[in-house]
Structure 1
């Protein structure tokens, strides 16, 4: 559907144009609402630019916002239709496999970030981006079958409930509808704002990059509390380190905690 400017002239499809009073090229939100719905209009405007900055108009951006909302809708309904809803996860992190642990870590990191973005930072575009990243990781786990089974579905329920609650201030209409599917007997008002689970924010394993003479040659996964000696040994044993060290001994091994190991030869 074509989107019209306030003066009645069409905005070039796929084009980007900065709106200003001097150009008399403001876009009537009603045109977006008629074509895509009010939630798409709200999501696009909040995602396209921080509220204190000028908005660069993009037809592709409007369409992208609409695609994301359709994706969210489809994800919730596919989950529901695949076997019904279940109680959200409420057990111990230790009972989960690595992928589900990582998904819950992403979920509760997202809750903490979005809460801070709304409250202290007032950066709504980054809040939306964080929920998009969460859904990307959820989709990956879903494709790999990690959300099947009782525990997997419980974590999936927790993720989808939180995504709907986090987006509720921006796209209230679709979120109310989706919440009624996820929690038919409870309103969003009664559910309140999601709270980050501190236990889920603690990662038991971390990924560390391995460099040889400052160039990336691989990565390792180690326990979050692994001693320095174990990290060095794991880095030296990687295929990339063995190949690019070319049989030479390490002159120095520099460990940057939680980030990387640089082997100097």
Structure 2
């Protein structure tokens, strides 16, 4: 609060002195959430509480990993579990970032904190979450290393992509589109990171046999590096160089969406009979409602599960599903 007041005061002072023409220093206020963590304590003789840092406490869990007791590592005696509260000196539940940085690197810590929750919501600190963020960055590095070790990738020939390659490229540009929107419009870094994770799942399963495959993977890895750059700048910069670029990633242009890559020739729709999943059909993206309904009615599973029944209604949700109501 005080920093905001100070900034506004000096801005208005400079305005009054004729140094500035605007009334306010900021166009928008984003109030970030608190980082919360578990607390542990012992009750003192005077009724007060002696708080212990989570790093100094050893937890005992049951078969379902639920915490059932805690004890101090230094003396082995039990401590009370105080619940989850915002990190503070008074509760001694802060986590030293330096120890995490020494163990995992700054990028891992940044990724975890920005993925754990939206910036305006509270973030619950989790050592397991930090380890998960580190595993994801290792996956990115491993895929890029394997790709680069096979030599320089050639140019991508968009005119000769097969259906599987088109699906991979669609995933690349869908991630670019969604991440750009999440970061640029809503500052939701957590959902932007989720888009990159989804893209990584696709890239890891993509073929790497032909020159086209490798050129497509090159495009995908470059997109991953660029989308992660605001969040994990160090590994992204190194990945950018390893992928064959001479300039720093901070000077690179934000990836642009190729809308043509998002166009689908066909759609896979889920089929339900009375609300229960019974299969799926593939139809042309341009198929009309009548054509989709006809394809659904003639599906083998639909015929089997509607045998002896009368179809009362066919509900088509464009691009998603067909639900057949029969009795």
TM-score, normalised to structure 2, is 0.71
**Contact 1:18–1:54, Cα closer than 8 Å, also in 2:** no
Number of residue-to-residue matches in the alignment: 254
**Contact 2:157–2:212, Cα closer than 8 Å, also in 1:** no
User: In structure 2, which of residues 182, 195, 212 is the aligned counterpart of residue 130 of structure 1?
Assistant: 195
Structure 1 residue ranges, 4+ long, deviating more than 4 angstroms after superposition? 5-9, 11-18
Rounded to whole Å, the distance in 2 between the matches of 1:178 and 1:27 is 29
Measured against aligned partners, the alpha-carbon deviations of 1:138-183 in whole angstroms (never above 9, x if no partner) come to: 1122xxxx33212111111100000001001111111111111102
Larger helix share, 1 or 2: 1
Structure 1 pair 255/49, CA: closer, same or farther in 2 (3 Å)? closer
- TM-superposed deviation, 1:190: 4.2
Partner residue, 2:284: 223
Measured against aligned partners, the alpha-carbon deviations of 1:44-71 in whole angstroms (never above 9, x if no partner) come to: 1111122222220111001001111111
Rounded to whole Å, the distance in 1 between the matches of 2:296 and 2:110 is 48
Larger strand share, 1 or 2: 2
Partner residue, 1:262: 323
Rounded to whole Å, the distance in 1 between the matches of 2:123 and 2:213 is 40
**Contact 1:89–1:157, Cα closer than 8 Å, also in 2:** no
Matched, 1:103 2:178: no
Rounded to whole Å, the distance in 1 between the matches of 2:188 and 2:235 is 21
Matched, 1:244 2:295: no
RMSD of Structure 2 on Structure 1 (CA):
2.4
Question: Structure 1: where are the runs of 5+ without partners?
Answer: none
User: In structure 2, which of residues 73, 81, 102 is the aligned counterpart of residue 34 of structure 1?
Assistant: 102
Rounded to whole Å, the distance in 1 between the matches of 2:252 and 2:154 is 14
**Contact 1:19–1:57, Cα closer than 8 Å, also in 2:** no
Structure 1 pair 137/12, CA: closer, same or farther in 2 (3 Å)? farther
Deviates more, 1:109-118 or 1:245-254: 245-254
- Three-state SS of the structure 2 residue aligned to 1:251 is strand
Rounded to whole Å, the distance in 1 between the matches of 2:163 and 2:308 is 34
Partner residue, 2:130: 62
Q: Which has the higher contact order (CA 8 A, sep 6+)?
A: 1
Measured against aligned partners, the alpha-carbon deviations of 1:187-210 in whole angstroms (never above 9, x if no partner) come to: 324431100101011111111111
Partner residue, 2:248: 187
Rounded to whole Å, the distance in 1 between the matches of 2:135 and 2:208 is 23
- Within a 5 Å distance, the mapping from 1:196-235 to structure 2 comes to 196-235=257-296
Deviates more, 1:110-119 or 1:240-249: 240-249
Partner residue, 2:76: none
Question: Structure 2: where are the runs of 5+ without partners?
Answer: 1-38, 40-50, 60-64, 68-82
Deviates more, 1:200-209 or 1:177-186: 177-186
Structure 1 pair 148/191, CA: closer, same or farther in 2 (3 Å)? farther
